Copies of this chain bind each other. A is one copy, B any other.
Amino acid sequence: MKIVNGNFLNNVKGYTAAGVCAGFKKSGKKDLALIFSECSAVSAATFTTNKAKAACVLINMENIKNETTRAIITNSGQANACTGYQGYEDAVNITKLVSNELNIQPQEVLQASTGVIGIPIPMDKMEIGIKNICSSLSIEGGEDASNSILTTDTVKKVVSVNVEIDGKKVGISGMAKGSGMINPNMATMLSYIITDANISKDMLNSILKESIENSYNMISVDGDTSTNDMVLSMANGMAENNLIEKKDEKYFILKEAIDYVNTELSKKIARDGEGATKLFETIVVGANTILDAKKCAKAVVSSNLVKCAIFGSDANWGRVICALGYSGADFDPYKVDLYFKSAKGEVQVAREGMLIDYSETLAKEILDEEYITIFVDLNSGESEATSWGCDLTYKYVEINGEYRT
């Protein structure tokens, strides 16, 4: 597997993209993005589990059933959530407008919205925006597209890798947004993974479903699951490898690459969490089951108290044990070994669930770094899991607590 830098569309054959300003954001920043596959692609997706699903989620849940997909359109500024029947009608019209311009079927269009809840998308602006963006598609447009989906994200999030399958170069590129906030409303996580791999819809779906379990589902910024979260994937076959239609060696080569892209995008989202100054990962080993390992890892990165301790560079191992304890996982607290690690070194802070002598100076040095690992050995079984989170800071409260007029 090779990691590729630069415009993420250069890495995948047969895709173009664009990002334009359609006027959805007051700031005047680019707010409409389109990714287009020049030929029929298969697609797979996962959607928010939130009961109050946005209109874009609802229509995608229908359109993802179609055998082929050609386009993903995204607006930032309005979430099209809690917008009722009108919101759904608007979503239907968006697919029609895009399909008309690109001469494809409406059900070949997927869409996402991110932004303020409860406010309808201004459809007059959308109509003009769609006309503009469909005539602006290019390979270079990938850059604009990846910027146009952002809200209060501070950096764009793009990852590209390629692998060799059947002697062919297969490219995989992903772009994501999260976890910003608009005028204040809830964060939304969007991620799009496109590849030129030749793969069946079933197999792409299988890879995506497994992959998100170990990436997006293992990050936490604030524990709030948005109404609009989604991960969309397209594969257009232009790499011309032999069709991947079962779980063979080729499948696992592609899966490893997609896993990598999803994991790296997840880490970028966590690092760019609202107000965050640090990214920390929690590696849990020695669990009896994968589920136990995941529960432990997720509880630690989701704990407000641990997040505050990371912000304060405080080796507060008691909070970590506490989070493990209420995670719902089965383990023996008196077998737990606990370490803090970073570029500055590592320090063991607890052995068999109890305090051990350690250098507080070294611990503080380690925790003052921007990337930190909390390493937990449950010393019970063979299962492992990793999660990612960010610190909880004054800035998070400022972003989400300030009343804006």
Interface residues of A, Cβ cutoff 8 Å to B: 49-53, 79, 81-84, 116-119, 184-186, 222-227, 302-305, 308-309, 311-314, 316-319, 321-327, 329-331, 333-334, 350, 352-355, 364, 391-394, 396-398, 400-404
Q: Quick one: copies of this chain in the complex?
A: 2
* A52 and B308 form a contact (CB under 8 A): no
Output the nearest chain B residue to A317 by Cβ-Cβ distance: B118
* A312 and B82 form a contact (CB under 8 A): no
Q: How many Å lie between the Cα of A50 and that of B304 in the bound state?
A: 16
Q: How many Å lie between the Cα of A400 and that of B186 in the bound state?
A: 24
Output the nearest chain B residue to A364 by Cβ-Cβ distance: B403
* B81 and A318 form a contact (CB under 8 A): yes
User: Pick the contact of A51 from B53, B331, B404 — CB < 8 Å?
Assistant: B331
Q: With a CB–CB cut-off of 8 A, which chain B residues contact A311? A: 397, 401
Q: How far is the CB of A358 from chain B (nearest CB, A)?
A: 12
Q: How many Å lie between the Cα of A364 and that of B402 in the bound state?
A: 12
* A354 and B185 form a contact (CB under 8 A): no
Given A52-B322, A322-B117, the answer on whether A186 and B305 have CB atoms closer than 8 Å is yes
Given A393-B397, A397-B393, A403-B314, the answer on whether A118 and B350 have CB atoms closer than 8 Å is yes
Sample 25 A-B pairs with CB under 8 A, ordered by A number: A49-B326, A50-B325, A51-B324, A52-B321, A52-B353, A82-B350, A82-B355, A84-B353, A84-B354, A117-B318, A118-B318, A118-B350, A184-B316, A224-B326, A226-B322, A227-B322, A227-B325, A308-B401, A309-B401, A312-B403, A314-B401, A392-B400, A393-B397, A394-B394, A396-B397
Given A118-B317, A185-B318, A319-B224, the answer on whether A312 and B52 have CB atoms closer than 8 Å is no
Q: How many Å lie between the Cα of A304 and that of B118 in the bound state?
A: 20
Q: How many Å lie between the Cα of A245 and that of B42 in the bound state?
A: 68
Q: How many Å lie between the Cα of A49 and that of B49 in the bound state?
A: 26
Q: With a CB–CB cut-off of 8 A, which chain B residues contact A185? A: 316, 318-319
Q: With a CB–CB cut-off of 8 A, which chain B residues contact A225? A: 322, 325-326
* B318 and A186 form a contact (CB under 8 A): yes
**Inter-chain pairs besides A52-B333, A392-B400, A393-B397, 18 sampled, C-beta below 8 Å:** A50-B325, A51-B326, A51-B333, A52-B325, A52-B353, A53-B325, A117-B322, A118-B354, A185-B319, A186-B319, A222-B304, A223-B223, A223-B303, A224-B303, A224-B319, A224-B326, A308-B397, A314-B403
Q: How far is the CB of A190 from chain B (nearest CB, A)?
A: 16
Given A52-B324, A304-B304, A322-B186, the answer on whether A84 and B334 have CB atoms closer than 8 Å is yes
Q: With a CB–CB cut-off of 8 A, which chain B residues contact A322? A: 50, 52, 117, 186, 224-227
